[in-house]
């Protein structure tokens, strides 16, 4: 399986269990790796035979900016399901970053990584 990766998609969302997170929102960063067969697109040089990563990026940002959820695990699942709606995408790895998580000690990042497939 071939891979198409999108790294560092940024969007502001209002996800979290604390009222301040819901009210003020924060930046979330998404890394995606889409698994698909790119040979048909390459053979014909045809965008219609692969995944349009620009559209995927817009859809993922819309999910992050959309309906709030408590857990980043839930948000990651919604992002994965959005990616799998694209016909050629057989598998997706989502790494969701929450760099401004409300943690009381110094840290660099909080991430949840999931892999989902059609099977």
Would you name the residues annotated as active-site residues?
98
> Which residue bears the tokens 């697109």?
41
Distance, CA of 54 to CA of 73 (rounded, Å): 24
User: Who's near 108: CB < 8 A, 6+ residues apart?
Assistant: 99
Strand boundaries in 14-90, DSSP class E: 26-36
Half-sphere exposure (Cβ direction) of 95: Cα atoms closer than 13 Å: 11
The three-state secondary structure class of 3 is: strand
């Amino acid at each position: 399986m071939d891979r198409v990766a999108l790294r560092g998609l940024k969007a502001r969302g209002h996800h979290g269990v604390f009222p301040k997170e819901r009210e003020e929102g924060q930046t979330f960063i998404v890394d995606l790796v889409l698994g698909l067969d790119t040979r048909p697109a390459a053979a014909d040089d045809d965008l219609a035979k692969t995944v349009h990563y620009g559209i995927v990026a817009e859809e993922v940002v819309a999910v992050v900016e959309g309906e709030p959820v408590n857990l980043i695990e839930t948000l990651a699942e919604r992002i994965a399901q959005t990616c799998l709606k694209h016909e050629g995408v057989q598998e997706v790895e989502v790494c969701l970053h929450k760099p401004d998580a409300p943690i009381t000690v110094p840290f660099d990042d909080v991430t949840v990584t999931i892999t989902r497939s059609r099977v």
